[in-house]
Every structure is written in structure tokens, then in C-alpha cells.
Amino acid sequence: MADEDQQKARDIADREVARLWRAWRTVHQMVNDRGYELNEDELSISLAEFKNRFTNDGVPDRKKMIFTARPSVEMVARYSTPATAANPNPPKADVGTIYIEFLADTNVGIKQMRSFAQVLSQGNFHTGILVTHVHITPAAMKIVPAVASETRIECFLEQDLLVNITHHELVPKHVLLSKEERSKLLQRYRLKDTQLPRIQVGDPVARYLGLRRGQVVKIIRTSETAGRYASYRLCV
């Protein structure tokens, strides 16, 4: 009977490790797709290697799964305001190092969210992603806008990261336009940004890419008759 109980415990641990591995891969793909710098081995880690690095006696240790990433040169350029004659010294790009943490707590409330915000502030992280396996309390979520002037906090459930939605055949490719590309687009078509179709900031793909209100995303679709064609949406 004891052997059966031990086997059941191992099976449960193995399933949890497999789930975390899938979520880990998706988060790394998400961070990479946003433009942060990651090593190839971080993106293609095998289940066996994941078990070796992030478990203790077969039990996953989420504290070991913390990682950070710096924005690439291309990402910094995409978030930079181009210099003009009227504004020769624009502000620095609103982007920086990102911090990702997988939280093991079975309850995520104000205490946990304040602690996460403190880590971001003390480490001078521009953005933080908190991945939990339980829902965060509404009271704790109020901390996110409260600290928005100091750091950006994004929250994801592990179960929502088991599959990378951008890899689905029905999801077209989304590409964030730089501020310069956004300006040229509006000038070319003589539009105001509010005249563009919209994408909600809470849209799954918008959350995946970390879109912010006011940004414009290019959506590339394929058609049997027209080939590849693009449309644009304003994040609101």
C-alpha cells in the first residue's frame, strides 16, 4: 500500500513538473518575442534538463525558476522616440530589464503582491511578470496600478501558459510598430490613431506581447487569393 502511495505521489509530481515545463517554455518564448535577449538553450530546454535544474527529489522548486532578461538593441529602438528638429533630445526608451517569478504560494494576496513589487523596486527592474498557479485576489490586483509609476507588473496563470497561443494556426502574426513606424503609418494614410481598428489591452495576444495603450500593432494574415496582407490596430 505504501508503494502505491509513493507511486501516486511521484505521478502527481511528474505531471506538475511537465505542466511547469510547458509554462516555462511559453514564458521564455513570450519574453523573446517581445524583444528581450535570451540564450537559445533557455528557449529549447528539454523536459529532462528542466527536471534536473528545477526540481528537488522530483518535486518542482519554483524559487529556482526566477530569471531576468535585458532588452535587445532592436527592442530599445522600437520603444524610443525618434529625435526631431522640434524635439532633438527625446526621453529615453520606456523599456528595461524584465524580472520573471513563478510563485508557489497557494494564496496570492496583498502580502505577496507587495513583496513582488518591492523586489522590482529594489532591483530597479522596469517590468515584472508574476506567474501563479492560483488566482490573485482582487485587493492584491489593486497594487498593480498603484505602483505603475515605478514599475510595470503583469500577472499570468500557469494554466494560461501551457500552450503558446501565438503558435496556433488561426492566430495571425502580430508585430509591434516602433514609434517612428506608427507616425509614418498615420501620415501615409492621413489618419488619427483613434481612427484605427482597436485591440483591447486585455486581449490574449496583446497580453502576450505586453502591448500598452496607444501602441499600434501590425497584423499579418495570409489569404489564398490575396497572399499576405496587413492590417493595423490601436491598443486601447
Do residues 74 and 191 both lie within one domain? Answer: no
Give pLDDT, residue 1: 55
Do residues 101 and 118 both lie within one domain? Answer: yes
Give pLDDT, residue 12: 81
pLDDT in tens, the chain (236 residues): 567 777 787 788 899 999 999 999 999 999 999 999 999 888 999 999 999 999 998 889 999 999 999 999 999 999 998 888 788 888 889 999 999 999 999 999 999 999 999 999 999 999 999 999 999 999 999 999 999 999 999 999 999 999 999 999 999 999 999 999 999 999 999 999 999 999 999 999 999 999 999 999 999 998 777 788 899 999 99
Q: What total of structural domains would you count in the chain?
A: 2
Do residues 155 and 188 both lie within one domain? Answer: no
Do residues 140 and 224 both lie within one domain? Answer: no
Give pLDDT, residue 157: 98
Do residues 58 and 30 both lie within one domain? Answer: yes
Give pLDDT, residue 120: 98
Question: pTM for the full model?
Answer: 0.92
CATH code, 228: 3.90.940.20
Contact 116, 153 (CB under 8 A): yes
Do residues 126 and 102 both lie within one domain? Answer: yes
Contact 73, 31 (CB under 8 A): no
Do residues 23 and 80 both lie within one domain? Answer: yes
Do residues 97 and 158 both lie within one domain? Answer: yes
Do residues 215 and 154 both lie within one domain? Answer: no
CATH code, 34: 3.40.1340.10
Write the burial class of residue 225 (CB in 10 Å: 0-12 exposed, 13-18 middle, 19+ buried): exposed
Give pLDDT, residue 222: 86
Do residues 110 and 56 both lie within one domain? Answer: yes
From 103, 233, 117, 100, select the one nearest 174 (Cα to Cα): 233
Q: 171 is in which domain, residue-wise?
A: 166-235
